[in-house]
Amino acid sequence: MAKEPEKLSAAQRSKIRRLSAPKELAPDEEGGELNIVPFLDIITNVLMFVLATVSVTFTATIDTFPPRAGGAGARPPTTPTLGLTVIVVNDGFSLKARGGNVAPGCSDTGPGLAVAKVGGEYDYKTLNSCVQKLKKLSDDFKSETQVTVSANPNIPYQAIISTIDAVRTTDSGEDLFPDVNFGLAR
């Protein structure tokens, strides 16, 4: 036969009720957790603002001159000039100097690309040596500092910037054509 459980006394029942009842927290013990959601909202907004402004402050610039509309007011040069123009096309670089095309290899005037792509990539080293060769053709060209860079519309931006870098200075840091003008592709 099963033994019947003992009944609790009134004092025991009272003590159990007292211990199991929820306690009121003291004012210094209020809310055991810290609500950090508003703090995180503020930090997120400040972080987004900082990220948006950092990209603006660290941009590099290259001094260039925009093309002039119509070219009005320009005087013809009094000394012979090279008048170098570099045109970036899909297959390489076409160079124009003294009003004529520079032939492949930069040795003479004639049709064709002066510097073709090598392995599907633009050959900036050969472009740099070609520009150096053209500048050394005459003593009249040594003081010339302007070059015009033009490109087809589908040429990547990095190719244009690398072209500008290639015609501005030699590998040793000597100036070639530091004043870069942009030409309009027609």
> Given the structure tokens 């004092």, which residue do they identify?
11
Q: Is the residue at 166 inside a domain?
A: yes
Q: Is the residue at 6 inside a domain?
A: no
29: confidence class by pLDDT, cuts 50, 70, 90: low
Query: H helices of the chain, where?
Result: 10-20, 37-57, 124-135, 157-168
pLDDT at 41: 94
pLDDT at 71: 54
Q: Is the residue at 132 inside a domain?
A: yes
Which structural domain, as residue segments, surrounds residue 155? 81-182
Q: Is the residue at 91 inside a domain?
A: yes
Task: State the CB neighbour count (10 A cutoff) for residue 115.
Answer: 26
User: Contact 176/131 with Cβ under 8 angstroms?
Assistant: yes
85's CB contacts (< 8 A; 6+ apart) are: 95, 96, 97, 147, 148, 149, 150, 183
Is pLDDT of 79 > 60? yes
Length of the chain (residues): 186
Q: Is the residue at 20 inside a domain?
A: no
Section 81-100 average pLDDT? 83
**pTM exceeds 0.95:** no
pLDDT at 40: 93
DSSP annotation of 7: P
Q: Is the residue at 48 inside a domain?
A: no
Is pLDDT of 140 > 80? no
Q: Is the residue at 176 inside a domain?
A: yes
SS3 content of the chain, % helix, strand, coil (to 5): 35, 20, 45
Q: Is the residue at 25 inside a domain?
A: no
- 36-77 pLDDT per residue, tens: 899 999 999 999 988 887 765 555 666 666 655 555 555 555
d(C-alpha 85, C-alpha 98), whole Å: 9
The larger pLDDT score, comparing residue 67 to residue 20, is at 20
Percent of the chain with pLDDT strictly greater than 70: 80
DSSP annotation of 84: -
The larger pLDDT score, comparing residue 121 to residue 69, is at 121
- 106-115 pLDDT per residue, tens: 877 778 788 8
Domain count of the fold of the chain: 1
- 154-169 pLDDT per residue, tens: 888 899 889 888 888 8
Section 76-80 average pLDDT? 64
